[in-house]
Amino acid sequence: MILGGVPQVRVVGEAADGDEVPAAVARCAPDVVLMDIRMPRVDGLAATEALRALPDPPEVLVLTTFDADEQVLRALRAGAGGFLLKDTPPAEIVRAVLRVAAGEATLSPTVTRQLISHLTVGPTPGPDQRRDRALRLLAGLTEREHEVAVALGHGRTNAEISAELFMSVATVKAYVSRLLTKLALNNRVQVALLVHDAGLV
């Protein structure tokens, strides 16, 4: 109902459970999938992992609440473009879907900071291996790329990074694209998580 009344958005399909998602995506070829984590048979995490493993996957926005920390982290590591809280106002849901469809960042800096701060409190499985891997990947960056990566870890927008590092917004965008390619990541949220894994934020 929320998305159906937006001129720029066309709802092309729905799935009642995670096990229906791959077939629905193959049939409808959406640009964006709005994915609930909690579903009866196959949850949204498994469905997200399956979708992001496809050759040309749609972007995935996960619907969640803060009481599912490990699940959200798993979804973001699987390549979800971001998450929306279930009490997100309708207008913001629409904006998030449009941003994702346009290939832009899907999380506001405030929400990104809250999420990463919330998720990185306390022990997580295999922190040493993740830290070592993150440090190894980040060691391959140039000094400037490293600075941009750390700024992403702080949840900075392109404009904020531009002001902080004295470069144009276009240059920041180029660096972000280069980081994604160099680190073999899907989006800036994954760069932020990698920086956190490395203990740099």
The 10s digit of each residue's pLDDT in 113-159 is 556 565 555 445 566 788 888 899 999 999 999 999 999 988 888 88
CATH of residue 142's domain is 1.10.10.10
Total count of domains within the chain: 2
Alpha carbon distance 70, 74 (integer Å): 6
User: Between 188 and 124, whose confidence is greater?
Assistant: 188
Say what the pLDDT of residue 138 is.
93
Give CB contacts under 8 A, 24+ apart, made by 64-68.
64/37, 66/118, 68/37, 68/38
Confidence label for 162 from pLDDT (cuts 50, 70 and 90) = very high
Closest CA relative to residue 88, chosen from 79, 97, 77: 97
Let me know whether 131 and 98 are in one domain. Answer: no
141 located within any domain: yes
CATH of residue 55's domain is 3.40.50.2300
170 located within any domain: yes
116 located within any domain: no
117 located within any domain: no
- How do residues 24-75 score in pLDDT, each as one tens digit? 999 999 999 999 888 889 988 889 888 888 888 888 888 777 555 566 677 7
Query: Which one-letter DSSP state was computed for residue 60?
Result: E
53 located within any domain: yes
Let me know whether 100 and 136 are in one domain. Answer: no
Say what the pLDDT of residue 103 is.
66
Following DSSP, what letter does each residue of 70-90 receive, concatenated?
HHHHHHHHTT--EEEETT--H
Let me know whether 22 and 92 are in one domain. Answer: yes
- Determine how many CB atoms are found less than 10 A away from the CB of residue 54: 11
121 located within any domain: no
Let me know whether 43 and 99 are in one domain. Answer: yes
Alpha carbon distance 95, 112 (integer Å): 16
Let me know whether 64 and 134 are in one domain. Answer: no
Q: What percent of the chain has pLDDT over 70?
A: 83
> Is residue 75 within 8 Å of residue 68, measured between CB atoms?
no
Say what the pLDDT of residue 123 is.
45
1 located within any domain: no
> What domain range is 155 assigned to?
127-197
> Is residue 161 within 8 Å of residue 147, measured between CB atoms?
no
Let me know whether 155 and 102 are in one domain. Answer: no
- How do residues 65-120 score in pLDDT, each as one tens digit? 755 556 667 777 777 777 777 778 888 888 888 887 776 656 544 455 556 565 55
Alpha carbon distance 90, 123 (integer Å): 34
Tell me, rounded to whole angstroms, the distance of Cα 173 from its chain centroid: 16
Q: At which of 72, 106, 140 does a domain end? A: 106
> Is residue 79 within 8 Å of residue 52, measured between CB atoms?
yes
- How do residues 7-26 score in pLDDT, each as one tens digit? 999 999 999 999 999 999 99
Q: At which of 46, 75, 106 does a domain end? A: 106
